[in-house]
């Protein structure tokens, strides 16, 4: 991958560059924490009431806490792998894998990371459109009554989100996304808080919906096989809720020089994951207490709440703003990889490299315009084909959690610190990795089963909420 180099022209301002010749980084603990919260608290939080309903009062909170601790632990290992043993920065997750592991693991990383990014982009497109539709339906229910269908086609809203993302995708890199991430993080707090408040209000109303230590009981409406698949799918939803390590190195690469980047990143990771887990626990537990075993798949768009309708609209507007920003945070590593590869292969092409300055702060690159627009259109079309919220996010979480969050960080750390094979540390890290692999496979099976059932009765491009 090409790196920027210092020019030797007289008059160059060397203070604008870091030790690797790139433009000076300006990120801090605050901006890194904001990036993490933006990436972590996404559409996953909306399914946690349903997730706890499938797992129950015992396994649900334990699973949430376990995924949180595992993600935090492996993220600290990743933070130590940002710089190679010779002090060279690894600007991307894939570069870190190449530096420490090499071989087929680079291919595994590329397939998993960029596949996860595409999956998350599609998932966020689905969720953003669902929230846009929910805003319109909330107003309709208020005017027409709660018994009214108020059905609204999703596709126009998926396309509207795509148009917005095409414009925002021209932001060149992570370093220009700090303000967008901070706004998105504030939005995530806002809609999570509204969901919590509405859940507490519903609990205070009484009614005592049925809950269970083991979740939705097996009975006439729930066979033992269906219960098993839902349990596996719920684990995938939790994995998706913590799906951010694939952009962790890229976030760390925004941190300014001074304090060691791994120290700052570990602090930001602890802050980001701790805050996210508190919100997850509250949303999942209070959402289950409010709705019981009938908890909707998305507790702000499934219309467990109808009033106050204006608050439902505000909450979903916050979701839209947040996920628009999160889409960009997640997509940057893939954008950057393709553009760096093209620059290396066709470095002499003006179509690839030439920047057209527009005003004082904005520049346009033709290859970036064509490539990123094509990517957004592609994810938008797939979102229109498969608009299944719970099963889709569960599948993405399941197939990416083990390789990106557990296996590769552990293997890189073992390589970096020369952990002796067969030692206690090596054995328990391998045990953790194997356990997470089994969980990921079971979660993927549950989500695939759900998708197959959903597709059996679905007509593409005719999605209606």
Domain-wise residue ranges, the chain: 29-456
Structure tokens at 67: 């995924």
pLDDT score, position 4: 38
Give dist(CA 182, CA 309) in Å, integer: 27
Buried b (16+ CB within 10 A) or exposed e, 397-407: bbbbbbbbbbb
The pTM of the whole model exceeds 0.85: no
Three-class DSSP category at 115:
helix
Q: How far apart are the first and last CA of the chain?
A: 45
The CATH number assigned to the domain with range 29-456 reads 1.20.1740.10
pLDDT band at 58 (very low <50, low <70, confident <90, very high): very high
What's the confidence (pLDDT) of residue 463? 56
The H helix count followed by the E strand count for the chain is 15, 2
Q: Among residues 308, 290, 307, 310, which one has the least CA distance to residue 299?
A: 290
Check: CB of residue 283 under 8 Å from CB of residue 49. yes
More confident residue, 286 or 246: 286
- Tens digit of pLDDT for each residue in 66-120? 999 999 999 999 999 888 877 788 888 888 898 898 888 888 888 887 887 888 8
| pLDDT at residue 162 is higher than 50 | yes
> Is the pLDDT assigned to residue 322 strictly greater than 70?
yes
Q: How far is CA 239 from the centre of its chain?
A: 10
- Stretch 316-345: mean pLDDT: 85
Would you state the pLDDT for residue 19?
65
Per the CB < 8 A criterion, the answer to whether 32 and 265 are in contact is: yes
Q: How many CB atoms lie within 10 A of CB 386?
A: 18
Question: Exposure pattern of 201-235 as b/e (b: 16+ CB <10 Å)?
Answer: ebbeeeeebebeeebbeeeeeeeeeebebbbbbbb
Confidence of residue 37 (pLDDT cuts 50, 70, 90): confident
- Average pLDDT estimate for 233-243: 81
CA distance 368 to 374: 10
Q: How would DSSP label each residue in 226-282?
A: HHHHHHHHHHHHHHHHT--GGGHHHHHTTBPSSS-HHHHHHHHHHHHHHHHHHHHHH
* Helices 93-100, 408-417: inter-axial angle, 10-degree rounding: 40
Instruction: Report H helices in 101-252.
Output: 104-144, 155-168, 178-204, 224-241, 248-252
According to DSSP, residue 356 is labeled E
∠192-194-195 over CA atoms, to 5°? 65
What percent of the chain has a predicted confidence (pLDDT) above 70? 87
From 15-19, 29-33, 372-376, the region with the lowest mean pLDDT: 15-19
**Banded model confidence at residue 248, pLDDT cuts 50, 70, 90:** confident
Triad 301, 237, 305: Cα angle to 5°: 20
> Mean per-residue pLDDT for 258-262?
82
Residue 146 makes CB contacts below 8 A (sequence gap 6+) with 306
The DSSP element (H or E) to which 362 belongs, if any, is strand 362-365
User: In degrees rounded to 5, what are phi and psi of residue 460?
Assistant: -55, 145
Nearest residue to 247 via CA among 277, 281, 272, 284: 272
pLDDT band at 437 (very low <50, low <70, confident <90, very high): very high
Phi, psi of 267 (to 5 degrees): -65, -45
Distance CA 12, CA 134 (A): 53
User: Which of 61-65, 221-225, 391-395, 430-434 has the lowest average pLDDT?
Assistant: 391-395
Region 37-46 average pLDDT: 69
Query: What angle is formed at CA 64 by the lines to CA 276 and CA 264, rounded to 5 degrees?
Result: 40
Q: How confident is the model at residue 304 (pLDDT cuts 50, 70, 90)?
A: low
């Amino acid at each position: 991958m090409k790196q920027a180099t210092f020019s030797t022209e007289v008059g160059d301002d060397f203070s604008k560059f870091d030790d690797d010749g790139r433009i000076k980084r300006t990120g801090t603990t605050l901006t890194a924490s904001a990036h993490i919260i933006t990436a972590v608290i996404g559409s996953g939080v909306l399914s946690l009431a349903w997730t706890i309903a499938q797992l129950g009062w015992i396994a649900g909170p334990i699973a949430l806490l376990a995924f949180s601790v595992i993600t935090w632990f492996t993220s600290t290992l990743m933070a130590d792998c940002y710089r190679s043993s010779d002090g060279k920065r690894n600007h991307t997750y894939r570069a870190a894998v190449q530096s420490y592991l090499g071989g087929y693991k680079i291919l595994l990383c590329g397939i998993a990371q960029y596949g996860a990014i595409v999956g998350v982009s599609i998932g966020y497109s689905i969720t953003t459109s669902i929230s846009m539709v929910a805003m319109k339906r909330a107003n309709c229910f208020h005017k027409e009554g709660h018994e009214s269908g108020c059905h609204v086609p999703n596709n126009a809203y998926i396309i509207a989100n795509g148009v917005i993302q095409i414009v925002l995708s021209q932001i060149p890199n992570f370093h220009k996304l700090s303000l967008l991430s901070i706004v998105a993080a504030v939005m995530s707090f806002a809609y999570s808080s509204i969901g919590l408040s509405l859940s507490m209000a519903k609990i205070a109303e009484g009614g005592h919906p049925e809950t269970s230590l083991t979740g939705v009981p097996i009975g006439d409406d729930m066979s033992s096989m269906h219960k098993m698949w839902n349990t596996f799918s719920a684990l995938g939803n939790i994995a998706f809720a913590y799906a951010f390590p694939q952009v962790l190195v890229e976030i760390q690469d925004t941190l300014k020089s001074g304090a060691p980047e791994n120290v700052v990143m570990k602090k930001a990771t602890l802050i980001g994951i701790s805050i996210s887990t508190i919100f997850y626990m509250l949303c999942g537990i209070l959402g289950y207490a409010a709705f019981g075993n009938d908890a909707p798949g998305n507790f702000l768009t499934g219309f467990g709440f109808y009033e106050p309708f204006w608050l439902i609209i505000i909450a979903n507007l916050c979701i839209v703003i947040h996920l628009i920003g999160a889409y960009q945070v997640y997509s940057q590593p893939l954008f950057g990889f393709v553009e760096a590869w093209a620059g290396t292969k066709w470095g002499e092409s003006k179509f690839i490299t030439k920047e057209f300055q527009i005003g004082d702060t904005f520049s346009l690159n033709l290859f970036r315009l064509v490539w990123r627009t094509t990517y957004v259109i592609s994810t938008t079309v797939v979102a229109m084909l498969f608009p299944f919220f719970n099963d889709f996010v569960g599948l993405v979480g399941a197939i990416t959690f083990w390789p990106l969050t557990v296996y590769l960080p552990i293997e890189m750390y073992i390589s970096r610190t020369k952990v002796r094979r067969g030692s206690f540390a090596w054995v328990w890290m391998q045990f953790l990795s194997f356990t997470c692999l089994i969980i990921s496979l079971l979660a993927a099976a549950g989500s695939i089963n759900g998708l197959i059932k959903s597709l059996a009765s679905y007509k593409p491009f005719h999605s209606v909420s």
